[in-house]
Each structure stands twice: as C-alpha cells, then as structure tokens.
C-alpha cells in the first residue's frame, strides 16, 4: 500500500462546514491511498479500512451454465482466469474450454472482476467454446474409426 499525505488548506476547510471531513478525521487528517491492479492510484475505500489490513473484499457471483446456476464466492480483485479455474473444478471443463461473458461481452483471462464492474450478486454467463466442442466431437469420431474393430470384407 502506498501512503501519501494530502495538503489541507484551512480556509477551504472552514468554508465547507468547519473542520476535517469524516473520512479524514478518523485517520488523523491523512488520506490513505491504494494502487489498483490497473495502475490507478485512488483513495482507499472506507469498507476496506473497517475490514482490516490486508483483507480482500469477497463477492458472490452467480455463474450460469447451459443447464445450471453456480454461486461462487471470490475476491473482488480476482481475474476472469482465476474464476475459470474455480469453474473448472465444478463443471469439469478446462479453463481454455470456457468462455465467460459479463454484460454481453466476452472477457479476457487477465481482466480483473472489479475493473470491469462485477459486483456482489452479479451474473456471469459461461459457455463452452464452440471450436473446442466441435473438435471434441470430431476427435471422438476419429477415435472410434481408428480404435474400433477392423473392417474385414472377407469372412474367414
């Protein structure tokens, strides 16, 4: 975590209602800053200060597959790739076989959940990659032909 000191101006603080803001009052007038995974420096959220140092915010995501719903608890700062790993345990589909859609767009594995706007109790759609699905079907057909009983037109 990065700590920066902000400069307070006495004239502006008295005009705004006399004194320090409630967020800054609890920390002795210092504003706490954090560096987000995207590289943006922002003021630390109030909920993280109360939750304890180093503790990440957990969110529950509802993932819809073709036939089922899965409710998963995951850290808000996780990536879609990490979500795919969790889903691979539940759905028996490898992460590279999955396609995750949030708000109508397919998301890359390196995108962070909180950076694209995934919040607690949001829905994510998981589909099986059609190219992989087709490859599996073709692969099964080939193994049956190659691995099946040999064709012999002449009976012995």
30: pLDDT strictly greater than 70: yes
Encode pLDDT of 48-97 as tens digits.
444 444 556 899 999 998 888 999 999 999 999 999 999 999 888 899 99
Q: What are the sequence ranges of the domains in the chain?
A: 10-51, 58-136
- Note the CATH architecture for domain 58-136: Roll (3.10)
CA gap 138, 87 in Å, rounded: 25
Cα 152 to Cα 17, 18, 140: the distances in Å are 95, 97, 22
Structure tokens, 58: 């957990």
Encode pLDDT of 96-134 as tens digits.
999 999 999 999 999 999 999 999 999 999 998 888 878
8 A C-beta contact, residue 126 and residue 72: no
Q: What own/partner pairs with CB < 8 Å and gap ≥ 24 does 8-11 have? A: none
Q: Is the pTM of this model over 0.75?
A: no
Report the sign of the C-alpha dihedral through residues 129, 110, 84, 136, in that order: positive
């Amino acid at each position: 975590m990065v700590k920066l000191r902000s400069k307070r101006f006495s004239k502006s603080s008295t005009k705004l209602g006399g004194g320090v803001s409630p967020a800054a009052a609890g920390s002795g007038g210092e504003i706490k800053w954090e560096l987000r995974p995207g590289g943006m420096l922002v003021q630390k959220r109030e909920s993280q200060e109360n939750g304890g140092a180093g503790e990440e915010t957990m969110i529950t995501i509802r993932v819809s597959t073709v036939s089922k719903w899965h409710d998963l608890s995951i850290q808000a700062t996780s990536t879609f790739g990490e979500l795919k790993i969790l889903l691979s345990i539940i759905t028996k589909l490898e992460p590279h076989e999955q396609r995750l859609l949030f708000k109508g767009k397919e998301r890359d594995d390196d995108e962070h959940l909180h950076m694209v706007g995934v919040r607690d109790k949001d829905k994510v759609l998981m589909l099986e990659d059609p190219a992989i699905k087709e490859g599996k079907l073709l692969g099964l057909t080939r193994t049956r032909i190659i691995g099946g009983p040999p064709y012999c037109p002449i009976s012995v």
